[in-house]
Amino acid sequence: MVDMAEVMKKFDIHEIANNELAEIEKTVDAELVARYKDKRGKKIFPVIYAARDNVCGACNMELPKSVLSRLKGGEVIECDQCGRLLYIAK
Ligand SMILES: [Zn+2]
- 78 Cα–ligand 1 center, Å: 8
pLDDT-derived band at 90, boundaries 50, 70, 90: low
Average the pLDDT over 19-28 and give the result: 77
| Ion ligand 1 nearby residues (CB, 5 A) | 56, 58-59, 61, 79, 81-82
Residue 13 belongs to what domain range? Answer: 4-88
Looking at residue 1, what is its pLDDT? Answer: 47
Q: How many residues does the chain have?
A: 90
For residue range 33-61, list pLDDT tens digits in order: 888 889 888 888 788 888 988 999 999 99
Rounded Cα distance, 7 and 72, in Å: 14
For the chain, how big is the Rg over CA atoms in Å? Answer: 12
Q: Give me the DSSP letters along 65-76.
A: HHHHHHHHTT--
Residue 7 parent element (H or E): helix 4-10
Number of compact structural domains in the chain: 1
